[in-house]
Amino acid sequence: MDLKLKGLKAVVTGGTKGIGRAIVETLLAEGTSVAFCARNAGEVAQAQAELQAKGGVAIGRPVDVGDGPALSAWVADMAVALGGIDIVVANVSALAIANDEAAWRTGFEVDLMGTVRLVEAALPTLAHSAHPAVVTIASVSAREIDFASGPYGAFKAAIVHYTQGLAFHLAGKGIRANTVSPGNTYFPGGVWSQIETGNPQLFAEALALNPTGRMGTPQEMANAAVFLASPAASFITGTNLVVDGALTRGVQL
């Protein structure tokens, strides 16, 4: 299937590792020019060098998405550098699991407001695109109560609601908005890799819940996100695509 992504321009937050990195790489492989950000300047520089070595346009910049003015400035700069924005992918999460006020504040600023501010900053440019699309990354923790039922799950659920609201209100302008809700996703250095070594009992319990007998990969999540971002998904908007290998049992109506 031709996703018709060649020549389009995308901005992706949290693009140096895990799901975000896989999304950036997949978009580039489809011929999309990509601007990405992350907090760690060294990791951004390394990722940019690795991505550019494979060809294509990949522009990295260190940005803390919890910093509203910095995030808005980055979007404006990347709209100029890329010559427009067709696709917005809000991927960053603070992974706020602890149930204390600091975690709630961090989750609000990074997960929820980082998504809202990113979209708001990009909307004026998206409005000029022939194929405008927003993809937000939530989690199965938004659908079911699990060990991340505090700030993380609450704000991921809010992102799903926010995105579906966007889809409804922007449909008349031709701007699509969808969410991908990944299940447990394993990659070296990721949260589940850290849990595997730091809390093997929790890791074993989580792994046992996966009917497929394994966790997902960043590439499997990226495939879903890139499809939803593409013109090939032109009549899909307002959906929450769960990619979890049948981990969750709730029926999504």
Q: Which residues contact 21 (CB under 8 A, 6 or more apart)?
A: 15, 47, 218
Identity of residue 201: Q
Residue-wise pLDDT for 194-205, tens only, equals 999 999 999 999
Radius of gyration of the chain (CA): 17
| Number of helical H runs and strand E runs in the chain | 9, 7
Instruction: Render the burial of 198-237: b for 16+ CB within 10 Å, e for the rest.
Output: eeeeebeebbeebeeeebbbbebbbbbbbbbbbbebeeeb
pLDDT, residue 39, reads 96
CA angle 163, 96, 223 (to 5 degrees): 50
Tens-digit pLDDT profile for residues 2-56: 999 999 999 999 999 999 999 999 999 999 999 999 999 999 999 999 999 999 9
Residues that are catalytic: 152
**Residues 162, 1: Cα–Cα separation, whole Å:** 30
| H or E, element range at 240 | strand 240-243
Average pLDDT, the chain: 96
Report the pLDDT value the prediction gives residue 138, as an integer from 0 to 100.
98
pLDDT mean values, one per 10 residues, the chain (253 residues): 97 98 98 98 98 96 98 98 98 93 97 98 98 98 82 96 98 98 96 93 93 97 98 98 94 78
pLDDT value at residue 252: 79
Domains of the chain: 9-185+217-243 (3.40.50.720)
CB 212 within 8 A of CB 241: no
Predicted structure pTM score: 0.97
* Contact present, 229 and 198 (Cβ < 8 Å): no
